[in-house]
Amino acid sequence: MKVCRTIAEVRERLEHVRKGTIGLVPTMGALHGGHLSLLEAARADNDTVVMSLFVNPAQFAESADLAGYPREEEHDLELARDAGVDVVFAPAVEEMYPPGFQTWVDVTELGSILEGRFRPGHFRGVATVVLKLFAIVRPDRTYFGQKDAQQAEVIRRLIHDLALDIELRVLPIVRDPDGLALSSRNALLSPEDRTRALALSRALSTGSANAARSALAASNGLVVDYVEVADFDPPVIAGAVRVGSTRLIDNVPLNAGSDSRSDKGDDT
Ligand code: PAF
């Protein structure tokens, strides 16, 4: 596995493998079972697997949130190696946002609802960095988790609107046995807050926004940002709560049996 720090290194490394297919798994590190399911799918589908590992400052509104984001590069690299990743792209912030950087991608409507209302600018940061990763890696396929359902929808829109020749695969949420959706932010929860956080997945699994809101209102120690039905592909009931100083999101697809999906920019 080759770890590249610069755009030039990635391009050089991938130059010789372009006859085969390339799968890109964008991550911010702190890898967990959800990421591993994306890497596994990418490994099964492609000749070359690229994982990006970049904590993207442009998608964090608050500097405390950015500073507190878990960073475990050595461990992430071990997991990536075990998952059969060929190339890790782990750039410094200046490599992705050099002085004078001023070009942004805004998925306007989708980016301003739900999470976008509580995290203004978040999806602009996501869309911009993901498009830049696409431009650097030029993947045939890219892999996202259903856990961030709105992010997957934003990327689907981006691929479609800009006619990118990239297949998007969205893999199901991976949960702990007690139902908590795996998230890099779970590492920030105290044991008590982790127990409180279970109320979110339980509430959403009622399949009714009203029932979920009532259940969460009756839970101690949670601040509910929103619980809403979102008309995504597939439609989901999505929610966000704050538990202590940690913000968690989760969603449950409204049509049962939604397995991993894939679609391409030119045919959605
Ligand atoms: O889901 C994430 O980890 C990030 O939003 C992503 C897609 C890697 C962009 O920074």
Specify whether 134 is located in the same domain as 95.
yes
Summarize pLDDT for 23-32 with one digit per residue, the tens.
999 999 999 9
What tokens appear for 191 in the block?
């044991």
> How many Å lie between the centroid of ligand 1 and the Cα of residue 206?
28
Q: Which atom of ligand 1 is nearest to the CA of 26?
A: 8
- 232 vs 219: CA distance, rounded Å: 27
Going by C-alpha positions, the residue among 197, 190, 205 that lies closest to residue 256 is: 205
Give the pLDDT score at 64: 85
CA angle 253, 224, 110 (to 5 degrees): 50
Residue 126: give its domain's CATH number.
Answer: 3.40.50.620
Specify whether 165 is located in the same domain as 190.
no
Give the pLDDT score at 106: 98
The full DSSP string for 24-85 is: EEEE-S---HHHHHHHHHHHHH-SEEEEEE---GGG-SSHHHHHHS---HHHHHHHHHHTT-
> How many Å lie between the centroid of ligand 1 and the Cα of residue 51?
11
Instruction: Return left, alpha or beta for 223; rule: phi > 0 is left, psi -120 to 50 is alpha, else beta.
Output: beta
Q: Is 138 helix (H, G, I), strand (E, B) or coil?
A: coil
Give the pLDDT score at 18: 97
Residue 247: give its domain's CATH number.
Answer: 3.30.1300.10
> How many Å lie between the centroid of ligand 1 and the Cα of residue 75?
18
Q: Distances from the Cα of 170 to the Cαs of 81, 158, 225, in angstroms? A: 22, 14, 25
Domain that holds residue 29: 2-175+257-264
Give the pLDDT score at 259: 52
Mutation pick for ligand 1 pocket among 59, 115, 170, 186 (CB with most ligand atoms within 8 Å): 59
Give the pLDDT score at 255: 76
**Do residues 133 and 102 touch, judged by C-beta distance below 8 A?**
no
Summarize pLDDT for 121-145 with one digit per residue, the tens.
999 999 999 999 999 999 999 999 9
Count of structural domains, the chain = 2
Specify whether 211 is located in the same domain as 171.
no
With a cut of 50, list the residues of the chain below it in pLDDT: 258, 266-268
